Amino acid sequence: MALHSLHRAHQVPSVAALSALESALASFRISTQPSTPSGRRNASHQAQGRANGPKDTAGKRLGAKKADGQYVVPGNILFKQRGTLWFPGDGCFMGRDHTIHAQVPGYVKFYTDPVQHPKRKFIGVVFERGNSLPQPHNAVRRRKLGMLAYQMPSTVAEQTAGDLTDLTPSSPAEQSSGAAIPATIVRDQPQEARQTKTIRTRRDGRWVETTLTLRPGHQWRQANWEIGRAAERSKAARSVRPFKPGDRFAAWRKRNARIARNAELRTMKRGGKKGGKAKK
């Protein structure tokens, strides 16, 4: 055993082992000269959304939802878009996602208005199918209720002449002919000269007579002050004790009586609980 170990200690390394050791040390040797890369390595995985394959998502269904001349009602979607490709015109409004909705009932119109903007495209709604947009800026506008704008008369005489009138024939000739001629204007007549009638209504088990007056618009109704005081004649109002202006301490006495009554109720509840426990 000793001879074998002594033989291994005096063994000389071979030339092949020395050359391999020298080449290994050369790879770790620090070089002062910049090394030139022999090649470039590119990414083998695509970045961002294409890394995991394309997404097959559903479309957003953008575009026109109503055609030109189609009838719509308020709230209908006319055009869905991303951004302002189209702008809301007459009778339309735009939502927060740039969707254009109808604001009034009517027919859809796609148009441009160089006076309002030279390049923008608008979507509007008209009340009749034959109408066109844009309307002249000095023309009479139609209201949202489908009615033409009406100019109020400037004088009182013109306002009175166009008011509701009494069309009942007054003379025998008019009654025989059956013609209804405006005789007098109801609003110009005084309260005493207007027609009145009396009706009987049953209230709280008794008959009550009510006088009705012919008001403008040919309506039989009570006067405003009579309608306002109708609550005073109700059954609930008669059950309330009338207020006395000189009784200054009525509220103070009511408050003390309410406090005493609540204290008595609390005492009775506590006594009932104690009695119940004693019985058990």
- Per-residue confidence (pLDDT) for residue 25, from 0 to 100: 79
Residue 203 lies in a domain: yes
Residue 105 lies in a domain: yes
Q: Give me the number of domains the chain comprises.
A: 2
Residue 248 lies in a domain: no
Q: How far apart are CA 140 and CA 130, in angstroms?
A: 16
In whole angstroms, what separates CA 214 from the centre of its chain?
41
Residue 75 lies in a domain: yes
Q: How far apart are CA 24 and CA 2, in angstroms?
A: 34
- Per-residue confidence (pLDDT) for residue 151, from 0 to 100: 62
HSE of 38, CA atoms in CB hemisphere, 13 A: 0
Residue 135 lies in a domain: no
Q: Report how many helices (DSSP H) and strands (DSSP E) the chain contains, helices first.
A: 7, 11
Q: What angle do CA 142, 137, 104 make, to 5 degrees?
A: 30
Q: Quick one: CA torsion of 24, 25, 29, 33, rounded to 10 degrees?
A: -50
- Per-residue confidence (pLDDT) for residue 20, from 0 to 100: 82
Residue 87, domain CATH = 2.40.50.100
Residue 218 lies in a domain: yes
Contact 86, 79 (CB under 8 A): yes
| Residues spanned by the domain of 81 | 63-126
Residue that is last in its domain, among 126, 152, 170? 126
- Per-residue confidence (pLDDT) for residue 183, from 0 to 100: 42
Global confidence as pTM: 0.38
Q: How far apart are CA 103 and CA 91, in angstroms?
A: 5
Q: How far apart are CA 124 and CA 92, in angstroms?
A: 6
- Per-residue confidence (pLDDT) for residue 107, from 0 to 100: 94
Q: Where do we find the tokens 């209201």?
A: 143
Residue 3 lies in a domain: no
Q: How far apart are CA 250 and CA 248, in angstroms?
A: 6
- Give the number of other CB atoms < 10 A from CB of residue 51: 8
Residue 58 lies in a domain: no
Positions of the chain with pLDDT under 70: 1-13, 28-38, 46-54, 142-194, 216-218, 272-280
Q: Which two tokens stand for residue 244?
A: 């006395």
Q: How far apart are CA 189 and CA 107, in angstroms?
A: 47
DSSP string, 187-212: TTS-TTTS-EEEEEEEETTEEEEEEE
Element (H, E) at 78: strand 77-80
